Amino acid sequence: MKALVYAVRPDEIDFFEQFSKELNLDIDLCSSNLTEDTVEQAKGYQTVIFLAECKVTGKVLESLKSFGINHIVSRSVGVDNVDWEKANELDIKIANVPAYSPNSVSEFVLTSTLVLLRNYHHYLDRVQNQDFTITGLVAKEIRNQVVAIIGVGKIGFETVKNFTGFGPKEILLYDPFEKEEVKKYGRYTSLEEIYKSSDIIVYHIPLLKDTVNIISKKNIDKMKKGVILINVSRGGIMNASDLLDGINEGKIAGAAVDVYDNELSYFRHDWREKNIPDTTLVKLLAHPQVIVTPHAAFYTDEAVSNMVSISLGNVKEFFDTGNSKNIVNKK
Ligand code: COI
């Protein structure tokens, strides 16, 4: 029994060697993403491990099935890059890593929020040009802000706790599944109240049919003037043109964007000295009220190590039992 690991970054190699040895697993590593063009490489393996940037389409799944593969393992949390319907139809089990380090993403959210609130990016720009003035950069304090978290799963809960340390005016929460333990930190409410009352809105939601473009003109219009938006979940939850319009019209004071709908063409690649054809991305990158990061909120040593060890644990379980506690597409 052997697994092929796709989309391996150099910083993961030592972890794969260490944990595959500890679990006595036979694995091969390759740097290419799993796509319709690279799926042939999986022939002869009994499972594949991949990341969020791989496109696990219906065609990919059909090929994997034809190679005798009945289970696949993502080392990401989000598995919106897999055609679930097709996987169910082909009876292919999908496992993920449900929590590699909620702290990694949550701490990035706090960083992004503070950068925007404190105008930190503007100070860096000015100082790099030997401009040591502070004019126009008066900041806001979190204790005077109403903070909202949309999506209070494992990562969202960590963000709630982290904001609590700054003593915001109030923490508003939205999640269809309310949890008692979260209620001592914040108040669950409707999206309508969140839009109306929040100064900072953080999105920690998966990309689902009903979360596509949740950041859209329709909802931005309902938001409080001067709101700050933090999107570290998926590019597909945001209409980037509407976001830019909201900023240019003065409704949104700032946005931190760690994900982008069309990110696969850009993020993880070096585009220096090349023209980016995506004009919306160019506008986001150039906008003084937007900070763009390349889907890096997860990227800590702890998270990388756990993504490797937990995904290999899933493979081990699949090989030993045909099952895994981390299957996400239970029918
Ligand atoms: C996830 O785990 O769902 C992420 O978004 C991080 C991934 C790109 C490694």
Query: Which residue in the list 263, 269, 272, 287 is annotated as catalytic?
Result: 263
User: How many Å lie between the centroid of ligand 1 and the Cα of residue 238?
Assistant: 17
Tell whether 187 is covered by a domain: yes
Could you tell me what percent of the chain has a pLDDT over 70? 100
Tell whether 140 is covered by a domain: yes
User: How many Å lie between the centroid of ligand 1 and the Cα of residue 232?
Assistant: 10
Same domain flag for 240 and 163:
yes
Examine the pLDDT at 330 and tell me if it is beyond 80.
no
Same domain flag for 96 and 106:
no
pLDDT digits (tens, 9 = 90+) for 105-156: 999 999 999 999 999 999 999 999 999 999 999 999 999 999 999 999 999 9
Q: Give dist(CA 297, CA 146) in Å, integer.
A: 23
Same domain flag for 75 and 109:
no
Same domain flag for 234 and 106:
yes
Residue 248's pLDDT is 98
Q: How confident is the model at residue 320 (pLDDT cuts 50, 70, 90)?
A: very high
Examine the pLDDT at 53 and tell me if it is beyond 70.
yes
Same domain flag for 246 and 130:
yes
Same domain flag for 96 and 146:
no
Ligand 1 contact, 232 CB (< 6 A): no
Average pLDDT, whole number, for the chain? 97
Same domain flag for 218 and 144:
yes
Q: How confident is the model at residue 312 (pLDDT cuts 50, 70, 90)?
A: very high
Catalytic residue check, 263: yes
Same domain flag for 115 and 217:
yes
Catalytic residue check, 234: yes
Residue 26 sits in a domain of what CATH number? 3.40.50.720
Could you tell me what percent of the chain has a pLDDT over 90? 99
Q: Give dist(CA 45, CA 316) in Å, integer.
A: 14
Tell whether 130 is covered by a domain: yes
Tell whether 248 is covered by a domain: yes
Q: Give dist(CA 59, CA 42) in Å, integer.
A: 13
Examine the pLDDT at 287 and tell me if it is beyond 80.
yes
Ligand 1 contact, 298 CB (< 6 A): yes
Query: Which residue in the list 71, 75, 204, 295 is annotated as catalytic?
Result: 295
Same domain flag for 181 and 237:
yes
Domain of residue 54: give its range. Answer: 2-100+301-321
**Are 32 and 6 spatial neighbours (Cβ–Cβ below 8 Å)?**
yes
Ligand 1 contact, 205 CB (< 6 A): no
For residues 32-47, give the mean pLDDT: 98
Tell whether 330 is covered by a domain: no
Mutate to test the pocket of ligand 1, among 34, 53, 76, 96 (most ligand atoms within 8 A of CB): 76
Same domain flag for 229 and 247:
yes
* Inter-residue long-range contacts of 316-319, CB under 8 Å, 24+ positions, other chains counted: 316/23, 316/25, 317/95, 318/47, 318/71, 318/73, 318/93, 318/95, 319/1, 319/25, 319/46, 319/47
Examine the pLDDT at 331 and tell me if it is beyond 90.
no
Query: Which residue in the list 71, 75, 204, 234 is annotated as catalytic?
Result: 234
Tell whether 197 is covered by a domain: yes
Work out how many domains the chain is built from and give that number.
2
Examine the pLDDT at 325 and tell me if it is beyond 80.
yes
Q: What is the pTM of this model?
A: 0.96
Same domain flag for 309 and 241:
no
Q: Give dist(CA 14, CA 244) in Å, integer.
A: 41
Same domain flag for 214 and 275:
yes
